Amino acid sequence: MKRALALLVLAGCSDPAPQAPRVPPYELRSVWAAEYAKLAVPPLQQPKADPELTALVGGLVPTIAGSTGKARELAVRDITGLGIQVLPALSAFADDAAQPEGQRLVALDLIGAIDAPECAEALAQRIDIRTTREAWVRAQSCYQLTRQSSDHWLPIGIQQLKYESDSQTVLWLAAALAKHANFAGFDGLRVLAVEGRDDALRAEAYGMLTRLAQEAGFADANQLYLAWYGQDPERKLPHRAPSPRLRAAVWQRIGALADFNLRLVDDARFALSRSADWVVEPLIAALREEQPFVRIHVAQTLERLGPRAQPACEALRAALVEPRMAPASAVALGAIGCGAARAELEQLTAASVDPELRSAAVAGLGHLGAPESVPLLERLLAPGEPLDLRQAAAQALLARAAHPGATALLAECLTALGADAGAAESALEAALTRDAAADEAAKARLEAWQACGKEIVDTPTVEQAAVRRKARQALFAPAAK
């Protein structure tokens, strides 16, 4: 009897039987390469430079720049009538810094007047701030892209929104994208309309917003903006079927998500997540890509798309059983607003679940903001839980509404060893900004918060950030309330 009891005790103290590895209920395969090959889009072949055409351009461009009326019209017709064969000569002239600026502008105008994919490609190559340093060239190239019917350059243009600093380029890049029913440029226009350097620029940006919104069928720019970043349930946004060449460009960006260069990966995610909603279809297909980093980054791209990626909910829920995909899928499900996944995300916060996935599930629940999840998130604030999980729960609670316990924990995280101080700082600032509109105490605290580190005029050093966070933490001490 004693031996039997001893065996039972030993059995109870032994490690539990290993669980079978979770296996996704779908097959992984080479998706992006197969889809790209299926489109069979030949690369654009730029024509070779022709000495005779180079001489012709060298003679006619100054004539066009210095003439008006019929003479100018005939000279323009002579050049543009040659089609893309004259593109190398025009491109060389436009890039020649020794030529007068007005004549180089004419060369770009002539490229824009030839509506061909090769010309759109040539113009798109000149809007990259990293390779084209002259802002007027970038701005004029964007303006000329508004005259082109080709859409394959859109991922290039969207990517440049991430880097562009010239106001005129921002204006015309937004217009060029909007011609193809892509309104990612509205973010920059909205900033210029409020924070532009002078009244004229602010008025120009506001006018561009208004014009593009009305052309898209909206009463004002705010309505279009909400439709673009929301679900557009009434389908008011104009939709353009992507050309095969644009589809190929998108699949190239999806393939780039496997690159070891993280800057290239982030550029690809940026361009994909700001594309029109048709991009969700290939992204869903790419969730089954055999290259793990591609499908993980695809889930992150869907997360950035937010509510526009609603069709991806079921595919992301299916990916929750795949260990490598589960954390990114959990966050994406919340950011997209896949409410049907709430119960699954709550189950993934259990202590038996992998720590990374637990935190991701909490982040997903925070995005969902369901009141039913509040008791669970509050339990995860307990000191016995890992700090990163507690912080994730605090951020999730505070994102939904004011929460003293979450606020106190995040204030601790501003200086706590092992905490994500930057994320805690961002969460507290967002909550203060939200609450300041209706709460005088929060308004006063926000003003004091903003005063901390006010002397920092550039990107703060590690030491400056630490001093600022220490000062901001003091605002939440009992004596400071």
The span from the CA of 237 to the CA of 216, in Å, is: 7
- Render the burial of 319-348: b for 16+ CB within 10 Å, e for the rest: bbbbeebbbbbbbbbbbbbbeebbebbbeb
pLDDT per residue as tens digits for the range 38-64: 999 999 988 999 999 999 999 999 999
Tokens 């080709």 label which residue? 150
pLDDT at 23: 62
Cα gap 254→286, rounded to integer Å: 8
Q: Give the pLDDT of residue 22.
A: 59
- Residues in Cβ contact with 3 at an 8 Å cutoff, skipping those fewer than 6 apart: none
Question: pLDDT value at position 479?
Answer: 52
Do 21 and 67 form a contact (C-beta atoms < 8 A)? no
Cα–Cα separations (whole angstroms), residue 440 to 399, 443, 445: 19, 5, 9
Per-residue confidence (pLDDT) for residue 457, from 0 to 100: 74
Q: Give the separation between CA 402 and CA 146, rounded to whole angstroms.
A: 46
**pLDDT tens per residue, range 189-199:** 999 999 999 99
Please tell me the predicted confidence (pLDDT) of residue 431. Answer: 94
For the chain, list residues with pLDDT below 70: 1-25, 479-481
CB 283 within 8 A of CB 314: no
pTM above 0.85, yes or no: yes
> What is the C-alpha radius of gyration for the chain, rounded to an integer number of angstroms?
28
> What is the spatial distance between Cα 381 and Cα 312, in angstroms, rounded to a whole number?
31
DSSP assignment of 31-88: HHHHHHHHH-PPPP-PPPP-HHHHHHHHHHHHHHHT--HHHHHHHHHHHHTTGGGGHH
Nearest CA-CA partner of 295 in 262, 255, 345: 255
CA geometry: angle 398, 401, 406, nearest 5 deg: 30
pLDDT at 233: 82
Residue type at position 177: L
Residue 206 CA, chain-centre distance (Å), reads 23
CA 400 to chain centre: 23
Task: Report pLDDT digits (tens) over 148-185.
Answer: 999 999 999 999 999 999 999 999 999 999 999 999 99
| pLDDT (0 to 100) of residue 6 | 43
Exposed, middle or buried by CB within 10 Å (0-12, 13-18, 19+), for 223?
middle
Which pLDDT value is given to residue 442? Answer: 86
Distance, in Å, from the CA atom of 377 to the CA atom of 379, rounded to the nearest integer, reads: 5
Cβ distance 268 to 256 under 8 Å? Answer: yes
φ, ψ (nearest 5 deg) of residue 86: -90, -5
pLDDT at 64: 93
Confirm if 421 and 415 have CB atoms less than 8 A apart: yes
